[in-house]
Amino acid sequence: MRHLVFVPLLLGGAVLVGGCDRNSDAAAARAIQSVNVIDETNLNDIMLTVADPAEAVSYFQRASAEYPDRIDLQRGLGRSLVRAGRPQDAVEVWRKVTAMPGATNDDHVDHADALIRSNQWDRAATVLESIPPTHETFERYRLEAMIADSRKQWDRADSFYETAAGLTTRPAGVLNNWGFSKLTRGDFAGAERLFVQAIRYDANLFTAKNNLVMARGAQRNYQLPMVEMTQVERAQLLHTLALSAIKQGDVQVGRALLQDAVDTHPQHFEVAVRALRALDANVVN
């Protein structure tokens, strides 16, 4: 009798162990799937930030072809195409994204951004107008400001630039754009103030430094601004200031600045050397 009782117990134990194994396998599969999702998310982020733009495009093209209904992969493809300098292709991707289930207002903003980059300003304006006014983001107002600029609607542009700058903790880029807008309008003092602000937020933004020198030069102020700069940057800014002086008719000042730029640069400054030679040749002739 003991043997008759013991055998079913063993069988029951075997079934129980087998059940545990199956549960463990299922749990392991779920855990692996979760890890894969995390890894994929990390990889997507890497591809959109630090990866080579062309490699990122290839990655998202393969992934979105395999999973065409995944909007996150389509977004990655659109953004990677912009990074790769292919805004025309990005426009078509974002048009597709905005028609997919789950599309957001931010997707429409990205669509407008790609349109602006591909010089389709009117279409970009139409896309932005379709977004509810309650969607108030830095990117939306940055693009609104650029469109107003392109239409020479200066009051609207100033309002949008100011709003955009207040919606980000890193306003250097939009302040630089706003300053360049002022520069093109001939408001050199206003442009100078904005470029200074941009540099305060980002001391490495050379474009703002160069624009600042242009604004000062347009006011016949040929002194370099008191901003942080490397030796190479100093030489480049002196070159920009020299060209501004020559354009204003202050040729001798420009020549002195060109010579200073050549002497300052730690290597051979070919562009400044050529400008100096051309200037001297014209003076001789």
Quickly state the pLDDT bin for 41 (edges 50, 70, 90): low
Statement: residue 2 has pLDDT above 50: no
User: Residue 268 region, left (φ>0) first, then alpha (ψ -120 to 50), else beta?
Assistant: beta
Quickly state the pLDDT bin for 30 (edges 50, 70, 90): very low
Average pLDDT over residues 118-146: 97
Statement: residue 26 has pLDDT above 80: no
Helical pair 121-129 and 138-150, crossing angle rounded to 10 deg = 140
Average pLDDT over residues 110-120: 98
Statement: residue 7 has pLDDT above 60: no
Q: Which percentage of the chain shows pLDDT scores above 70?
A: 84
Statement: residue 3 has pLDDT above 60: no
Average pLDDT over residues 59-80: 95
pLDDT top residue among 44 and 177: 177
Residue 58, exposed/middle/buried by CB under 10 A (0-12, 13-18, 19+)?
middle
What are the pLDDT digits (tens) for 227-283? 999 999 999 999 999 999 999 999 999 999 999 999 999 999 999 999 999 888 876
- Can you give the pLDDT at residue 55? 94
- Can you give the pLDDT at residue 43? 77
- Can you give the pLDDT at residue 40? 59
Contact between residue 199 and residue 212 where contact means Cβ atoms under 8 Å apart = yes
Q: Which of 33, 59, 65 has its CA nearest to residue 45?
A: 59
Statement: residue 15 has pLDDT above 50: no
Statement: residue 14 has pLDDT above 90: no
C-alpha dist (Å) from residue 58 to 17, 47, 77, 92, 209 = 47, 10, 9, 16, 36
- Domains, the chain, in order of start with CATH, read 136-223 (1.25.40.10), 230-285 (no CATH)
What is residue 224's DSSP assignment?
A: P
Statement: residue 61 has pLDDT above 50: yes
**CA–CA separation, 238 and 213 (whole Å):** 8
Least confident of 33-37, 77-81, 134-138: 33-37
Average pLDDT, the chain: 87
Statement: residue 5 has pLDDT above 50: no
Statement: residue 25 has pLDDT above 80: no
